[in-house]
Structures are given as structure tokens and as C-alpha cells.
Structure 1
Amino acid sequence: MAITPPPSPPDTPGWIDARFGTARGLVRLMLSYGETALRLASVRAPDAAEVRRLVFVCHGNICRSAFADVAAAEVGLATASFGLSAAHGAPAHPPVVAIAGEMGIDLGRHRATEREAYQPQPGDLLLAMEARQLRRIAADARLAHLPRTLLGLYTRPVLPHLHDPYRLNDPYTRACLQRIASAIPELSSRFPKAAR
């Protein structure tokens, strides 16, 4: 899978914030290309023929993984999601709910699932937003045996780090959700047995 670095920035104030959330988000994205290329991201590659459910993972399960879960379910995929540090039962972040709504995705009924409440099933594939999240999964004895990878390896273009839009600006939140949405057709194609 070819990994294409982001384009050079134009002379526009706020370009980094609108495209990558923060300067830290851009730095983490650039580092993620190296981590992925050097196989340092704790990916445990799935066998596509065995994947029956896509499980989206992020920090709080109120932005990225919440959106991915609902968007993938709406196209007929079997899905779940949880947060590595989630407040169980928390609603999706209101700005994310609003922007997702503009995209036709209703997050109004989503409630966060904490890691401890997630019940692994045979055929689960964990799709994290950041390499550091994969490392936390790999260190968890209850989850380490599961196949896991980065959702951003399925976005178009490939972006191995999908920075958290929580409390960031609307242009970046919209860009982040659009990137996640771009992965859904690829996931449907790669993992046909995850269809409900």
C-alpha cells in the first residue's frame, strides 16, 4: 500500500490547524509514516477471510471511533467501537455530532463504550486511529491476540495518523470525518465477510 505524505503547505494562516488539527497533529502524522514503513506501529495484520466485525478504537469513543462505527454500520457492515480512556455512556462530542449530521451521519444515539466493557468476538478486527493506540492494545493481555491495524491505512489518501478533533476547529473536524468516511468503501471491499 503506497503511503503519500501530505502536500507542502501554502502561505495561508491556519492551514496546519485546518488540515491537521494542530502542529502536533502534523508532527504525529509525519512520524506515523516512518512508524508504519518500519513496522513499528504494532500492527497485527488481519486475515481478511476471517474478519467478521470492524471494531473502531480511539481515545474517548466520542469523536473518531464513534463516527466510524455509525458510518460503517450505515453501509451494512458489522461494527462496534470503544475508547481506550472512555467515560462509559458519554454522548458523542456535540461539534462532531453537528458536522456528522451535515454529512448524513446521525450520532445522536451513540454512547461511549469503555475498553473494559468491550467484549471481543471471533472475527473482530481492531481499527485504531493512532499508532500509540495500537501499542496500548498490544500491551493489554485481553486484547493483544486480536488482529489490529490503523484505520488511516484505508483512507484515501493514506494517512496513518488521524488526529483527535476533540475541542479543535470545525474545518479540521470536518476534514477528519471526511478522511474517516473515505475509508468505509475500502473496508467494505477488503472485508466482505464483515457485511451484516
Structure 2
Amino acid sequence: MFKRLKATRQMLTELTQTNYGTFRGWVRHLLAQIELVTGRVDHWVGLNPAKVQRLVFVCLGNINRSAFAEGVARSRGGRVCSLGLATTTGAPAFKLALQTAPRFGIDLGKHAATHIGDYEYQEGDLLLVMEIRHAKQLVAYGIPIGAIALLGAWATPKRIHLHDPHTLSERYFYTCFTLIHVAVINLLEELRLAGSPCVQS
């Protein structure tokens, strides 16, 4: 009985680490999904394609999630950049990001991070964040609410909270990048079909 419980606990731990990164990541995922189904983030899960001139991907360090999202969007004809809320401008992509991105055909070898302090908002920018708290931080910086969206709203399935993979397992890095890859492709397709000027036809 003890062995079975131990094996079950180990299996659940591995599933959590693979799919959500950490137990905290799982909890934040659940809380974010509640925010979604209750309509509390409705203003950050839609867009007006005709107004989108440029995609700006945002995370904390701009060395993993937003760096990869930028790479995917750029490879598919998007007018794009990325930035970090807590980073150093010029920092390279993290080693596991460099190792994981080529599995999706993306090279992050030349990526250099940009701190939000070195970013200037332009009319037509759509800032795509990985977490609800990132959106709130951008509002505090003075970014218009209507210029912010949660990238995970375009993932399949929807994953409003895209937990930071930094320092976590290779398996979760792949899971996180898979979700970001799908979300960016779906977003670009929606924009392309709507004739948005931020995507090359």
C-alpha cells in the first residue's frame, strides 16, 4: 500500500512538473483559468486586428518565453519585438531556451533582451503577456488596457497562465514552448485572415 501511494505521488509530481513546471505553476494555472471562465480577464483575451500594427511579446526576463514567441512570430512574417519587465537590456537567451527553440525551427542565438525602460510604446502596438500579473504591471506603466492581451488565450487548449520555465526541467521547457508556438501561430492566422497590417500576406 505504501509503495503504491509513493508511486502515485511520484507520478503526480512528474505530471505536474512536465505540464505546469511546479506545483505553484499548477495553482497559478487554476487561478488564471478561474479568472477566464468568470469573465474577469475578458478585456485581455480579444483584439481588434485592424488596429494592430506590431506585436510586442512580454515576460519577465525576455530570455525564454517572450524571446521564443518573438522568434516564432518573426519566422512567420510578423512585425514584432519583445521585452522584459525585470531584465537587463542585451542579455542573451537562456541556455535551455537556446536548446529547445530549434525543435520548433527557431534560432535564438542572436536574441538580445530589452528592458521595458528601453521600450517606447507606439500606437498600434499589441503587448502580449504570459501572465495576468504582467498585464497589470503594464497598466501600471501606463500602457492602455486595450493594447494588452494574454497570449495563452490563443493556445490550444487555452492556457492563460504560461508559467515561467526558467531554471525548470527540459520537459517543461518543451511544454511551455509548445503552448507558445501554437498560440503565436493561431494569433498570426487570425490577424492574417483579418488583414491586419502587422502580418505579411
2:117 partner letter: E
2:4 matched to which residue of 1?
Answer: none
| Shift in Å, 1:103 | 2.1
1:66 matched to which residue of 2?
Answer: 67
Kindly report the root-mean-square deviation, in angstroms, between the aligned alpha carbons of the 2 structures.
1.9
Check if 1:116 corresponds to 2:117: yes
| Shift in Å, 1:69 | 0.3
Unaligned runs of 5+ in 1: 1-8
More helix by proportion, 1 or 2?
Answer: 2
Distance 1:190 1:167 in 2: 33
Distance 2:133 2:41 in 1: 7
After superposition, the Cα gap between the structure-2 partners of 1:191 and 1:71, relative to the gap in structure 1 and judged at 3 Å, is same
**Residues 1-196 of structure 1: pairs in structure 2 closer than 5 A:** 11-41=11-41, 43-44=43-44, 45-141=46-142, 143-144=143-144, 147-192=147-192, 193=196, 194-196=198-200
What do the CA deviations read for 1:34-54 (whole angstroms, capped 9, x no partner)? 122334348455322111211
TM-score of the aligned structures, taking structure 2 as reference length = 0.87
Aligned sequence identity (%): 36
TM-score of the aligned structures, taking structure 1 as reference length = 0.89
Distance 2:37 2:114 in 1: 31
Distance 1:56 1:32 in 2: 19
Distance 2:42 2:67 in 1: 22
| Shift in Å, 1:67 | 0.1
| Shift in Å, 1:185 | 2.2
Distance 1:109 1:54 in 2: 19
| Shift in Å, 1:113 | 0.3
Structure whose alpha-carbon radius of gyration is higher? 2
